[in-house]
Structure 1
Amino acid sequence: GAKSKGGKGKGKGKAGGSELHEAARAGDVARLEALLAGAAEDRGPDEADQHRRTPLHLAAFSGKAAAVERLLELRADAQREAMDGFLPLHFAAQAGHIEVVRLLVRKVSTKGSHGAVRQYVNRVVQKGRKSALHLAVMRGHTDCARFLVMKGASTELQTAKGETAIDLCKSEELRRDLRGDASAAAAAAEAR
């Protein structure tokens, strides 16, 4: 079973998450650090709740950029999937947290190649086969959508219903922008 030193991280909060999950959701960096400093091996930054969400998923969902940055420094896994294949990136893009989206993509880009980043931004959730770009455009998060396309998110990728991100755009302006951004990103990739 999961044991922790000094009783830290034992208390269960909402949705079966620990104190660590609550601190991440609240963006409480000092508390995160204190809890992780006293945590046993199996209760580190990638500890999952009953929905397989880690503290990084919850901080990303809540838009707590400082907590996301600190969790990444503490080696939290940006590619860890929660239930239904949701990455921290999906949560951040869906909620429109551009600063968090940038931090997560930067983390993957420092560890891997441009191809690794393209693969990361195009990962889809199991339910509906939506990418971070689909989730961002469905909620009208223009800045997130444009950033994801710049980083290689495909505007041609189709959901389970056969819809592309451009099909799901709420505004004509964003639809036009994404078409232009995708063309510019493709030209830049060819120039490499």
Structure 2
Amino acid sequence: MGRGSGNDQLELHAAARSGDLNAVQSILSSNLLAINSRDKHSRTPLHLAAWSGHAHVVSYLCKQKADVGAAAMDDMGAIHFAAQKGHLEVVRILLSSGVSVKTSNRKGLTPLHYAAQGSNLELVKYLVKKGASLAVKTKAGKTPLDLANKEEIRLFLEESEHSSKNRDLNPREEAEESNPKLLFPDKPESGSSEAPVIKDEGEQEDEKEKRKGNEVEISPVVVFCSTQEIEDTVVSL
């Protein structure tokens, strides 16, 4: 058990569990060391308040510097207890107080695993939005989707997994997946399968010079005929 008198600890644990904020404040005002005291299951007042869903008590304990990362039996943290019971507001407070959304207990269960087993879809959505891993597995090899009980939670997790995979694709892969023609382009209609060669201006000028060198210059032929020869030609026609 943590430091502090036995009576204070028992009273503080009972007050945290029941949500009696006035009693919690009164005890801690005279014995602040009792804030992280533990019961026989190694639970602190924060664990009990989180399990019971008393957001106002959880908020006060966090402000009084309670150990938000303290682990009870099986490495259960306050956020695991809150997620297991579906207490969204408590989870919000704990995450804003520095608890990791990806923290796991001895069995490898994360807050999302516990939330998926429950019935609070909004809690599941919130944890995913905050970066909870969809692919993380428990020691038994189960993902949050594997543990989902309600159909609406299962569908949401499936859609989230699909969206996550699409975000992981680089722009080229994403374009290829949406347009198979980029992977298997149509053959060009012309007979040649080779891409046209684009030549720069220098190469084009060289080609012109080569063509000029190969051309045969034909000079005009001037024929001088006398008037009589022309007349003879006309007559013969």
TM-score if structure 1 supplies the norm length? 0.78
The match for 1:10 is 6
Partner Cα separation in structure 1 for residue 110 and residue 14 of structure 2: 26
How far the C-alpha of 1:179 sits from its partner, in A, is: 3.3
> 2:160 aligned with 1:164, yes or no?
no
Report SS of the residue matched to 2:97: helix
Do the aligned residues in 2 keep the contact of 1:150 with 1:181 (CA within 8 Å)?
Answer: no
Partner Cα separation in structure 2 for residue 20 and residue 67 of structure 1: 11
- Code of the residue aligned with 2:159 in structure 1: it is G
The match for 1:179 is 158
Do the aligned residues in 2 keep the contact of 1:24 with 1:59 (CA within 8 Å)?
Answer: yes
Report SS of the residue matched to 2:36: coil
The match for 2:177 is none
Could you list the runs of 5+ residues in structure 1 that have no partner in the other structure? 109-116
Partner Cα separation in structure 1 for residue 97 and residue 37 of structure 2: 19
> 2:106 aligned with 1:106, yes or no?
no
- 1:65–1:153 distance in 2 versus 1, CA, 3 Å: same
The match for 2:196 is none
The match for 1:131 is 110
How far the C-alpha of 1:185 sits from its partner, in A, is: 11
Which structure's CA Rg is the greater one? Answer: 2
For these two proteins, the number of residue pairs brought into alignment is: 168
Partner Cα separation in structure 2 for residue 38 and residue 82 of structure 1: 25
- Code of the residue aligned with 2:140 in structure 1: it is K
> 2:24 aligned with 1:28, yes or no?
no
How far the C-alpha of 1:178 sits from its partner, in A, is: 2.0
- 1:64–1:185 distance in 2 versus 1, CA, 3 Å: farther
Do the aligned residues in 2 keep the contact of 1:3 with 1:40 (CA within 8 Å)?
Answer: no
Q: Percent identity?
A: 37
How far the C-alpha of 1:40 sits from its partner, in A, is: 5.7
Do the aligned residues in 2 keep the contact of 1:46 with 1:54 (CA within 8 Å)?
Answer: yes
Report SS of the residue matched to 1:67: helix
TM-score if structure 2 supplies the norm length? 0.64
Partner Cα separation in structure 2 for residue 10 and residue 53 of structure 1: 15
- Code of the residue aligned with 2:97 in structure 1: it is K
User: 1:57-68 maps to which residues of 2 (within 5 A)?
Assistant: 57-68=47-58
Residues 53-99 of structure 1 show CA distances to partners (whole Å, capped at 9, x for unaligned) of 11000000000011001111111121111111101000000000111
Residues 105-149 of structure 1 show CA distances to partners (whole Å, capped at 9, x for unaligned) of 1111xxxxxxxx6xx1122111x3211111111122212111111
Q: How much is the aligned-residue C-alpha RMSD, in angstroms?
A: 2.6
- Code of the residue aligned with 1:32 in structure 2: it is V
Partner Cα separation in structure 1 for residue 166 and residue 46 of structure 2: 31
- Code of the residue aligned with 2:40 in structure 1: it is Q
Partner Cα separation in structure 1 for residue 166 and residue 90 of structure 2: 24
Do the aligned residues in 1 keep the contact of 2:51 with 2:82 (CA within 8 Å)?
Answer: yes
Higher relative contact order (CA 8 A, sep 6+): 1
- Code of the residue aligned with 1:157 in structure 2: it is V
- 1:175–1:22 distance in 2 versus 1, CA, 3 Å: same
Report SS of the residue matched to 2:127: helix
Report SS of the residue matched to 1:140: coil
Instruction: Select which of 50, 54, 63 maps to 2:44.
Output: 54
